[in-house]
Structure 1
C-alpha cells in the first residue's frame, strides 16, 4: 500500500494540478504521503476489535439510528413509534469495511482557515443549501477509545463555492462581501461518546477542488468568555468528502444549480485520491431525512486521531467582532499569488519537475 501511495503521489506531483483557485496541491500531497509513511500511523480499522468488544460500535450504530429517526419525526416524515433497527451484529461485522465512515488522513488546512471561531452547533447563519445534520466521532487510534472533551472545528464553502471570513482572488468574485460573516464555520466539544454535532450544508464546488469540508481537532484548549477557545494542541487536520453520485443530485438543487464555477469531480481531485489511500475512506455516510435532498440530510463520519500528535496549521485570518481580520505574517497571506504556502513551482528550465521555492 505504501508503494502504491508513493507512486500515486509522484503522478499527482508531476501533474501540478491546482488546489484552491490559483493554488497548487503539491505541498498538500507531500504532507499526506508523509502521514501514510509514518511508522506509528494507525487507522480506525486497526481498532475494530477493541471498538466492537467495548460495545462502542453497537452503541454508536443504535444512537445514529435513533438520531436519524428523531430528525425524521421532527420533520414529519415518521411517527415516534416507527423506528426500525438494523441487526447490530451485522453492523459490528462490517464495521470499517462497508461503513463509509472511517477516516485517518492528515491533510491541509488550506488557505481559508479562520481561527477564533465560535463554539456552536448551528453553523448556517442564513446560508441556504442541502441542510446537513453532521455527527463527527473522534477515536483515539493509539488507545482505541472515543476522545472526549476535544473541540472539533468545521468549515466549508457555501452552496456556490464561496468561503466566508476571507477575501482572496478566486473566492467567489474576489470581493470583500463575505469577510464580515462567519457562516458555515464553528467548533463543537465532543461528548462522552466522542461525538461532536453540527448543522451545516453540503459545500459547493469551486475551481480546482471537488466539494469538501475541512476539520481540525483541538485538545486541551481553554474556553474563553466570548465562546471561543485558546491554547491547547492540534492533533488532526483533515477533509471530508461526498459520494460523487450523491453530489450530482445535490448540484441539481437550488442554490447549487446557479454555481457557474468549473466542476472538479472526486476522481479528478488529487487530494481526494490521496485521502483514499492507506485503507481510509474520507466520504461522509449520508441519509435522507425525508423524500428528497431539500428535506434535509443526516451525515456521520468517524475520525481517527492520535491525541499526542502535534500539527501546526496556519490560519490566514482571525475571526473578530469586525469580521475576518488578517493574521500578520500568515504564510497563506496573498493567496494565490504571493503566499509562502502557495505551493511548489517548476524551475523554468524543467517544466516537468517541481521543486520548492
Structure 2
C-alpha cells in the first residue's frame, strides 16, 4: 500500500489547495489520505488474478480493440478486414498498471455538479472539440467482478473551460447562457460486462485546475419516465485525467486554442497528484481514431469501486425543463463568487 508521508500531506494542507477557484479542499485531501491508509483498501490491481482467470481481461481487451477498429472503419480510416490484434498475454501481464483506478472515496464533486441529468450516451449537444468515445469498465473490488447494475454519471467543462447548467465567475466566461444547456452531462447504465460508454469531448482547462472529467457511480437507482434516475446510493465521486504531453497537443487545436484562462498542468494540480497515490492511475488511455486529434479519440479506463461505500456529494443546481436551477440548501450556492 503506497501512502503519502505525513510531511507531504501537511505541506499540501498548508498550501490551502483549491479544487476550483475559491474552494478549499483540505477535507478532500484528508478523506483521500484516510482511504489510502485503510487496512481493507483494495484496487483494480488487487483483482488482477481473478479478472484474468475469469477471462474478463481478455474479453474486454478484445472488445475494445474491435470497438476502436469499428470507429476507424466508420470514419474511413480503416477497412473492415484490417484489424490486427495485440498479443493477449502481453495485455494480461500489463493489466492494472495503467488506466485503472480505485475511486471509492477519491475526490471532490466540485461546485459544478448538477443533479437530475438525462440518461444518454451522446453528451455533445452541439459542443465542439476533441470528440471522445469514452469506454468505462466498473469493477467491484470486494468481489473482483464487473458491476452490472450501476449508473455512471459523467460531466466536464467544454473546450474553453465552461461548465453548462451553472453560472459563476469561476466558470470560464461566467455568462448566464450556460444555465440553459445540459451539454457534456449525462448518465449511462453499466452493461453485462460492467461497461458504460459516452460520447463527449476532452475538457478544457480553467483557472486553478488541470483538464479533468468528473464521474459519480450510482447503485440501486430507479430509472424514471422522464429519463432521469432517482434514489439508490453513491459509492464513488472521482475524476479522470489526460496525459500531459497529449493534452498539450489537444490544447493547440481549435477551439481549445482560444481559451485565455491560465493553464494549470497535471504536475501543478494537487488533486491529480492525490489521485495518483496508492497504486491508482486516473489517467485515461487514449487512441487516435484517425491520423490527428481532430479525427476523434477513443478513451478507456477501468474503475474499481466498493458498492457498499457511501458518499454524499452535494449538487449546486438541479436540471429542469427550463435549465439549471439552484439546489435547496446547497453548500456550493454562490460559489465561488462569495
TM range, normalised to the smaller chain? over 0.9
Partner of 1:267: 267
What are the superposed Cα offsets for residues 78-105 of structure 1, whole Å, 9 maximum, x if unpaired? 00000000010110011112x3334435
Partner of 2:325: 325
Whether the 8 Å CA contact 1:158–1:201 is kept in 2: the answer is yes
The TM-score with structure 2 as length reference comes to: 0.97
Give the 3 Å change call, closer, same or farther, for CA 5–180 of structure 1 in structure 2: farther
Tell me whether 1:197 sits opposite 2:197 in the alignment: yes
Whether the 8 Å CA contact 2:3–2:33 is kept in 1: the answer is no
Partner of 1:209: 209
Of 31-40 and 314-323, more deviation after overlay is shown by: 31-40
Partner of 2:168: 168
TM-superposed deviation, 1:3: 4.6
Partner of 1:42: 42
What are the superposed Cα offsets for residues 109-155 of structure 1, whole Å, 9 maximum, x if unpaired? 11000000000000000000000000011000000000002100000
Q: Distance in 1 between matches of 2:61 and 2:6?
A: 35
Partner of 2:301: 301
Q: Which runs of 5+ in 1 are unaligned?
A: 339-357
What are the superposed Cα offsets for residues 247-275 of structure 1, whole Å, 9 maximum, x if unpaired? 00000000000000000000000000000
Partner of 1:104: 103
SS in 1 for 2:90: helix
Q: Distance in 1 between matches of 2:264 and 2:301?
A: 23
Partner of 2:149: 149
Partner of 1:352: none
Q: Distance in 1 between matches of 2:165 and 2:147?
A: 29
Q: Distance in 2 between matches of 1:262 and 1:70?
A: 37
TM-superposed deviation, 1:160: 0.3
TM-superposed deviation, 1:35: 1.6
Partner of 1:220: 220
SS in 2 for 1:90: helix
Moved over 6 A (4+): none
Partner of 1:54: 54
Whether the 8 Å CA contact 2:44–2:100 is kept in 1: the answer is no
Whether the 8 Å CA contact 1:17–1:208 is kept in 2: the answer is no
Partner of 1:20: 20
Whether the 8 Å CA contact 2:19–2:108 is kept in 1: the answer is no
Q: Which runs of 5+ in 2 are unaligned?
A: none
Partner of 1:341: none
Partner of 2:83: 83
Partner of 1:258: 258
Give the 3 Å change call, closer, same or farther, for CA 6–142 of structure 1 in structure 2: farther
